[in-house]
């Protein structure tokens, strides 16, 4: 059987023009990353169950409360945890709830108080 040439499938006309993705406040994000990195010293801030801190190099300034649901915390350094690749994976894929609770439970109490206060302001 002869194969038919590849043809483009007809696309329905777009009803609305593609919306340009809004700039997600890059200044606030840069301030967030810098602040989190300054606090962590470049080392992952995850604390193991035995109380020791992860020894790995931090690669991602992670938002403990997701920016999607907490956009007002985008520049809030207290909402940040500098994480290594493995712990960032854990925070996003494997153990999202556990990791968030762990990060909240092991951060300094003053940071947690400021964070909870900032979080409430957005509601």
Interacting residues toward Zn ion by CB under 5 A: 44, 46, 54, 56, 84, 87
User: Which lies closer to Zn ion via its Cβ, residue 56 or residue 74?
Assistant: 56
Distances (CA, A) of 114 to 76, 79, 104, 119: 10, 9, 12, 9
d(CA 16, CA 7): 25
Task: For the CB of residue 96, give the shortest distance to Zn ion in the complex, in Å.
Answer: 15
User: Which lies closer to Zn ion via its Cβ, residue 100 or residue 119?
Assistant: 100
d(CA 111, CA 76): 11
User: Which lies closer to Zn ion via its Cβ, residue 54 or residue 74?
Assistant: 54
Task: For the CB of residue 55, give the shortest distance to Zn ion in the complex, in Å.
Answer: 8
Chain mean position to CA 105: 18
Task: For the CB of residue 33, give the shortest distance to Zn ion in the complex, in Å.
Answer: 17
């Amino acid at each position: 059987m002869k194969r038919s040439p590849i043809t483009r499938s007809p696309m329905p006309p777009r009803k609305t023009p593609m919306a340009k993705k809004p700039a997600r406040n890059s200044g606030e994000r840069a301030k967030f990353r810098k602040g989190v990195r300054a606090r962590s010293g470049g080392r992952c801030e995850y604390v193991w169950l035995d109380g020791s801190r992860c020894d790995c190099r931090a690669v991602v300034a992670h938002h403990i409360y997701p920016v999607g649901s907490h956009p007002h915390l985008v520049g809030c350094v207290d909402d940040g945890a500098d994480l290594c690749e493995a712990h960032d994976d854990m925070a996003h894929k494997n153990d999202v709830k556990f990791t968030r609770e762990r990060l909240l439970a092991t951060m300094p109490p003053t940071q947690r108080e400021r964070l909870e206060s900032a979080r409430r302001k957005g509601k």
